[in-house]
Amino acid sequence: MANKLTAEQDALSISLIRGLAMDAPLKAKSGHQGTAMSLAPLAHILYSRILQHHPGRPDWVNRDRIILSNGHASILQYSMLYLGGWGLTLDDLKNFRQWDSATPGHPEAGHTAGVEVTTGPLGQGFANAVGMAIAEEHLRAVHGADAIDHHTYVIAGDGCLMEGISHEAASLAGHLKLDHLICVFDDNKITIDGSTDLTCTDDVPARFRSYGWNVIEAGEIADDCDALEQVLLQARHHRGAPTMVVLRSHIGFPSPELTDKHEAHGNPFTAELISSTKKVMGIPDEPFWAPEELVSAYRSHLADRGQKSVDDWTSKNSAETRALLASQHDLPAEASIAPALPVFDSNTNLATRQAFQKVLEATGSVMPHVLAGAADLTGNTGAKLSGTSAFSSTNRSGKQVYYGIREHAMGAALVGMALHGGVIPVGGTFFVFADYMRPSIRLAALSKARCVFVFSHDSVGVGEDGPTHQPVEHLASLRAIPGLQVIRPADPNETSAAWLAAVTHDGPTAIILSRQNVPSLTDGSAVAAGAAIVHSVSAPQAVLIGTGSELSVAMEASKILKEDGINVNVVSLPSWERFASLPTDQQDRIIPRSLPRISVEAGSTFGWHHIATHCVGIDRFGASAPGNVVMEKLGITGAHVAAVAKAAILG
């Protein structure tokens, strides 16, 4: 096996990548070729000389992960996945950014083989990489370096590092000394508006050194293959800190007209500009030039390198170890978890955040690869594994991750950990701070990352902290995200069932928990179906529908109505998504459309009208006062719900 391609093949491969980077956006009349052109040598060296990976085994557990955080340059990654043999074809590149293509505008995990995470919103991929590095470190400590020993590479641009999420994530990575994390900073000094001089004078190397990173200022080597290889190997071998390679590049190179111009960023080159650039490169002026001999040689080279890596790893690990590592990517079976779930008796009066911690700890022995943590609110949110140690720079086997006051970074890190595989990440904070995490939650849903977002202090019941800390619109906003499973358990038993539903779900889950104590009113069965009748009468005149702590309010209202000779059913509805997935006839058996239906939830009523005929909720901000006072003043009481129901029934 040749260790490297020839110098001629290097040059032709780089020209091929640059040609495709221009041709695909031109055909699509949309795209970003400038960064892809300038980073073609870097991508070529990474894929052909540095990365431990196999094109035929894109899911190999010990592969290096590579993330294009500046995902607008997706054509760079797609060109590599075509050239290297991951399954993309020239037709896929010709279908760039078109309906149902394998080459969407920004890379999407699970959509295109070889794409690890869904990137595009700047800075997210960088923070995902930090999560991947945490997962790798933990798994290496647990299973040994023979089984797990790989690196995470992330390419990031000025935009990624301007976004606030990068500051949080870089700080966390430096603190944890994640030395298997390597960031290549594409220092091209250009953004959409123009030169970075317009907006930013940060000393990026100094900033990252202050975070505890090893920084290599590589200088003007963006087109020097051997120099790039040496710098990347230096970064790979460094220990004790994550590494940033600062690479001075020139956007749009080698275009005679648009090198170092901001117009090269997102405006597809015209046919004339492409012709002049291909003339400089010395390749044929034809669209999608990809000589079969070169492509074949490239794919053979990567396949040989990849097979050697896989063979070496296989020889060091038993069939049992390999099977174990592979199985950790599968969804766990309910039957393996359910027996460990705690059951709470009817006398239990407990905040669901406290119940969640009990559930998390009770299932620890059957789910050893759960990594739990919070944004400086570990005990407050229930995302705590008592009896386990902290994951740290000196203890990689620890299962408690302390994220600090970094909700942005935590959200994206959870996504990276989940997409890395082998761990189930859990992260907690107060529900109102879901706003800080929304981009990450959205991308988790888009990429079906199996992570669990735990949000406590779920309503105006938070009390004295006031409206800044009292979530009102947050449930509605999370329920609006496609693919996100949202569960607001009413009591401890539903909390237990919510955890089971989360870890066996093929995608992300948000579990919404109370600060205040709530009575145990259910057996937890409502979670599986999304809803269940928890109080039934023979001839109901209406249905009261409660979620979370407001189920007890609905139950109180049913007793008041009973005293007035009015009989109602009470339904617990912890998950809209699960309820909506039921056949219509099953939905109607639980919540009959023929009856008045009154929803009770201490939050925005937005969206409830597709289920309820009348809504008791809070369509304003809260107030600073004891939680029970705020609830009463804003109408979340049994008496008010009973009055609304009575009016609905009697017309």
> Which tokens belong to 573?
């509805």
- Find the mean pLDDT for residues 398-409: 98
**Which CATH number characterizes residue 539's domain?**
3.40.50.920
**Neighbour order of strands in the sheet with 614-616:** 532-535, 568-572, 542-546, 597-600, 614-616
Asked whether residue 329 is assigned to any structural domain, the reply reads no
- Reduced 3-state DSSP string for 380-417: HHCCCCCCCCECCCCCCCCCEEECCCCHHHHHHHHHHH
Q: Are residues 344 and 305 in the same domain?
A: no
Q: How many domains does the chain have?
A: 3
Selected catalytic residue, list 108, 116, 137, 407: 407
Q: Are residues 296 and 351 in the same domain?
A: no
Q: What percent of the chain has pLDDT over 90?
A: 97
- Find the mean pLDDT for residues 544-565: 98
pLDDT band at 3 (very low <50, low <70, confident <90, very high): confident
Q: Are residues 342 and 475 in the same domain?
A: yes
pLDDT band at 402 (very low <50, low <70, confident <90, very high): very high
Q: Is the model's pLDDT at 424 over the cut of 60?
A: yes
Q: What percent of the chain has pLDDT over 70?
A: 100
Q: Is the model's pLDDT at 609 over the cut of 90?
A: yes
Q: Are residues 499 and 624 in the same domain?
A: no
Q: Are residues 424 and 478 in the same domain?
A: yes
- Flag the least confident range among 155-159, 265-269, 562-566: 265-269
137 as an active site residue: the answer is no
What is the CB neighbour count within 10 angstroms for residue 319?
A: 8
Query: Which residues partner with 462 through β-bridges?
Result: none
d(CA 448, CA 453): 13
Asked whether residue 202 is assigned to any structural domain, the reply reads yes
> Which tokens belong to 587?
């939905």
State the pLDDT at residue 1: 41
State the pLDDT at residue 330: 85
| pTM of the full structure | 0.97
d(CA 195, CA 433): 34
Q: Is the model's pLDDT at 195 over the cut of 80?
A: yes
pLDDT band at 651 (very low <50, low <70, confident <90, very high): confident
d(CA 73, CA 487): 36
State the pLDDT at residue 329: 80
Q: Is the model's pLDDT at 627 over the cut of 70?
A: yes
How do residues 197-241 score in pLDDT, each as one tens digit? 999 999 999 999 999 999 999 999 999 999 999 999 999 999 999
Q: Is the model's pLDDT at 459 over the cut of 50?
A: yes
| Structural contact between residues 354 and 380, judged by C-beta atoms closer than 8 angstroms | no
Range of the domain at 87: 8-314
State the pLDDT at residue 135: 98
d(CA 108, CA 122): 14
**Which CATH number characterizes residue 41's domain?**
3.40.50.970
- Find the mean pLDDT for residues 594-600: 98
Nearest Cα residue to 26 out of 335, 263, 269, 246: 269
Q: Is the model's pLDDT at 27 over the cut of 60?
A: yes
How many H-runs (helices) and E-runs (strands) does the chain carry? 27, 20
Asked whether residue 619 is assigned to any structural domain, the reply reads yes
Q: Number of C-alpha atoms within 13 angstroms, CB side, residue 458?
A: 32
How do residues 485-523 score in pLDDT, each as one tens digit? 999 999 999 999 999 999 999 999 999 999 999 999 999
Asked whether residue 414 is assigned to any structural domain, the reply reads yes
Name, in order, each residue with C-beta under 8 angstroms of 200's C-beta and a sequence gap of 6 or more: 158, 162
Question: What does pLDDT average to over the chain?
Answer: 97
